[in-house]
């Protein structure tokens, strides 16, 4: 007998974060400058492609402070004038074979329609070893 599988709608895999100004976030000037550079590079890619979206850009944010990682993601999204969505990895990861991949596909399809920046906080839950 199979157990109950995750049947959440794709939009429930992430939630929209409220937008704040960069100056209200507790990041160093060096960090803000680097994040604005990342956003500037994304803007150049959008201009070249003639769209308001950039496909396949990945930024790895590291550090001991989860609030700072979230603030960094906020800066990039704000600089790009896009909404920021925090991914709920607990809703994505499944113990059933193939379900995590299916959930990720639904997540990315919903995110593409929403048109924003995805923030995978604590991504080691997704990328770590499963038993």
Q: What residue segments make up the domains of the chain, in order of their start?
A: 10-18+27-122
What is the pLDDT of the chain when averaged over all its residues?
76
Residue in 58, 88, 81, 61 with CA at minimum distance from that of residue 73: 61
Q: What is the model's pLDDT at position 37?
A: 92
pLDDT digit string (tens) for 25-67?
677 888 889 988 998 988 888 888 887 777 767 788 877 787 8
Q: What is the model's pLDDT at position 4?
A: 47
Cβ(48)–Cβ(106) below 8 Å? no
Q: How far apart are CA 99 and CA 96, in angstroms?
A: 6
Residue in 97, 70, 68 with CA at minimum distance from that of residue 85: 70
Q: How far apart are CA 11 and CA 34, in angstroms?
A: 30
For the whole model, what pTM was predicted? Answer: 0.70
The mean pLDDT of 78-92, rounded to a whole number, is 83
Which residues make Cβ contacts (< 8 Å) with residue 116, sequence separation at least 6? Answer: 16, 77, 82, 83, 84, 85
The mean pLDDT of 97-102, rounded to a whole number, is 89
CATH (one of 3.40.50.300, 1.20.1510.10, 1.10.3720.10, 2.40.30.40) for 10-18+27-122: 3.40.50.300
């Amino acid at each position: 007998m199979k157990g109950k599988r995750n049947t959440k709608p794709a939009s429930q895999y992430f939630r929209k974060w409220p937008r704040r100004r960069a100056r209200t976030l507790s990041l160093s000037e060096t960090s803000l400058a680097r994040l604005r550079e990342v956003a500037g590079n994304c803007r150049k890619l959008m201009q070249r492609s003639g769209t308001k979206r950039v496909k396949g850009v990945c930024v790895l944010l590291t550090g001991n402070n989860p609030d700072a990682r979230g603030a960094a993601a906020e800066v990039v999204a704000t600089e790009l004038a896009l909404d920021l969505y925090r991914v709920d990895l607990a809703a994505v990861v499944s113990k059933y074979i193939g379900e995590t991949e299916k959930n990720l596909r639904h997540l990315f399809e919903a995110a593409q329609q929403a048109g924003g920046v995805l923030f995978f906080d604590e991504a080691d839950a997704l990328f770590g070893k499963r038993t």
